[in-house]
Structure 1
Amino acid sequence: MNRTRPTRDVYDAVADPTRRKLLRLLAEAEEMPLHELTAQFQMGRTAVSKHLAILKEADLVADRKVGRETRYRLNAIPLKEIQDWVSFYEGFWKERIVKLNFLLEEQKMKSDVSLDFQFTSSIEQVWNALTDSVMLEKWIWKNDFKPIVGHKFQFRTEPNEWWNGIVDGEVLEVDEPNKLTYTWISAGESTTITWTLKKGSDGTIHLHFDQIGFSEETKAREGAIEGAKYAWTNMCEQLKKVLEEM
């Protein structure tokens, strides 16, 4: 049997919370009489009947007489129009949420400290200064570093009233002589350091330094990140002197 064209817009019909509740009640039951539906609301039969009439006009509800009683049942087919409309915007937002998550992850992975240095020494000499324990002591601190993935080590210097003078670390990546990554854990802060070496066309060695993972508390502390940049810049000035003496 062909249905007559609805006389009311389906969106208008479901806009009212009472009518949405009626649809939910009918969705949970195969069929319900008017008196049972009315019992679910703090309003009279006449008011409920008016809401049911609007749902009927949108072809969302069908009714039938059983003796003197009118029974109602849900016709969910028109709701597909709403589902299709919502699905379109769901895809719209999913795409943007994916992009947002990507941007947030990208932002998260950006270095908290990023520095670049150039040296005229060979790439092998720079790599050796980054990985040899004796060389490291000349421009950072005493240490037991070894360029072996999984090796745990310490840098040690004179303690003071704010710091015990110890940095704990673990080697994460060794790609001689191009890349070195290790953790840098000190004073409750756990970060990751990456050194990347590239040889320029003129033979200059470009050394890029990244340090990521500072806590939000540290980032919010005035001068904390700038202080880290200053410290590493000074250390790499020492590295330059060590390389020039080789």
Structure 2
Amino acid sequence: MEAERDVFTAIADVNRRKILRLLADVDEMPLHELTAHFEMGRTAVSKHLAILKEAKLVTSRKVGRETRYQLNPKPLREVRNWVSFYEDFWQGRLAQLAVLLEKQKMSTLEGKIMNADVILDFQYTSSIEQVWKALTESDILEQWILANDFKPVVGHTFQFKSEPNEYWDGIIDGEVLEVDEPHKLSYIWASAGETTTVVWTLTEVSEGKTDLHFEMTGFSEETKATPGAIDGAVYSWTEFAKKLKTVLEK
């Protein structure tokens, strides 16, 4: 009587797993055909088959002088049950991780929204490269914001200039903080005693279509408490965005 071998021990060897895979594709296979799939000889293949037979994973029958081997998949149920347990275990853990990551994402987004004074989103039927050029090239910026000496170089200081009036000298001072072409641009926007930070984030949603996300942060508490001040900033940047659309469509 053959000693019964543990299924997990039997399938631990890569060659024995290959034998099982070969037998799974046919009704049966003789030793010489199995051996043809390996670099080892018949004796070594026979030893592996003996171990698989001890685990009842393989059966055999004599046909004349030839021994033919067949797969017996029933013992593999034990392996399937073991794997299923850990699949359920990890699916549960991954589900918990997904919930945790979503909570962190929402927390980050909420913090971002709370920290930003102005948040606007626009979509343009233009490539991300075209929108980036409109945000960073001085002559194009002049067409939808103001005359300027802007350069997309971190540390570069620049000015936007408009006609002065009795309330404002018409000058906006800035300094480039971050340049990640063509995805993100950030700079200081300082005017009339307020120093804020502008961040543009570009996302190509499809070929020839770009989402443009705008954030402006850093308004003083006094300004934020002044009725209409933040609304005025929203209005101004929305109007700028409309002009940008016109420029991009030229």
TM-score bracket for the superposition, by shorter chain length: 0.5 to 0.7
Paired position in structure 2 for 1:135: 140
- Helix, strand or coil at the partner of 1:158: coil
Kindly report which structure 2 residues correspond to 1:16-165, keeping only aligned pairs within 5 A, or say none.
106=111, 110-165=115-170
Aligned partners of 1:126, 1:106: CA distance in 2, in Å?
27
- Helix, strand or coil at the partner of 1:164: coil
Paired position in structure 2 for 1:236: 241
Question: Does structure 1 residue 175 correspond to structure 2 residue 180?
Answer: yes
Kindly report which structure 2 residues correspond to 1:167-246, keeping only aligned pairs within 5 A, or say none.
167-201=172-206, 203-245=208-250
Whether the 8 Å contact between 2:154 and 2:177 is mirrored in structure 1 is yes
RMSD: 1.8
Deviations 1:139-188 (A, max 9, x none): 00000000000000000000011000000000000000000000000000
Aligned partners of 1:203, 1:139: CA distance in 2, in Å?
20
Deviations 1:12-42 (A, max 9, x none): xxxxxxxxxxxxxxxxxxxxxxxxxxxxxxx
- TM superposition score normalised by structure 2: 0.55
Q: Percent identity?
A: 64
Aligned partners of 1:143, 1:180: CA distance in 2, in Å?
16
- Helix, strand or coil at the partner of 2:153: coil
Query: What is the aligned residue count?
Result: 143
Aligned partners of 2:122, 2:194: CA distance in 1, in Å?
25
* Cα drift, residue 203 of structure 1: 4.1
- Helix, strand or coil at the partner of 2:174: strand
Q: Any unmatched runs of 5+ in structure 1?
A: 1-101
Q: Any unmatched runs of 5+ in structure 2?
A: 1-106
Aligned partners of 1:202, 1:142: CA distance in 2, in Å?
31
Aligned partners of 1:210, 1:242: CA distance in 2, in Å?
21
Q: Which amino acid is the alignment partner of residue 198 of structure 1?
A: T
Aligned partners of 1:157, 1:181: CA distance in 2, in Å?
21
- Helix, strand or coil at the partner of 2:237: helix
Moved beyond 6 Å, runs of 4+: none
Whether the 8 Å contact between 1:141 and 1:155 is mirrored in structure 2 is yes
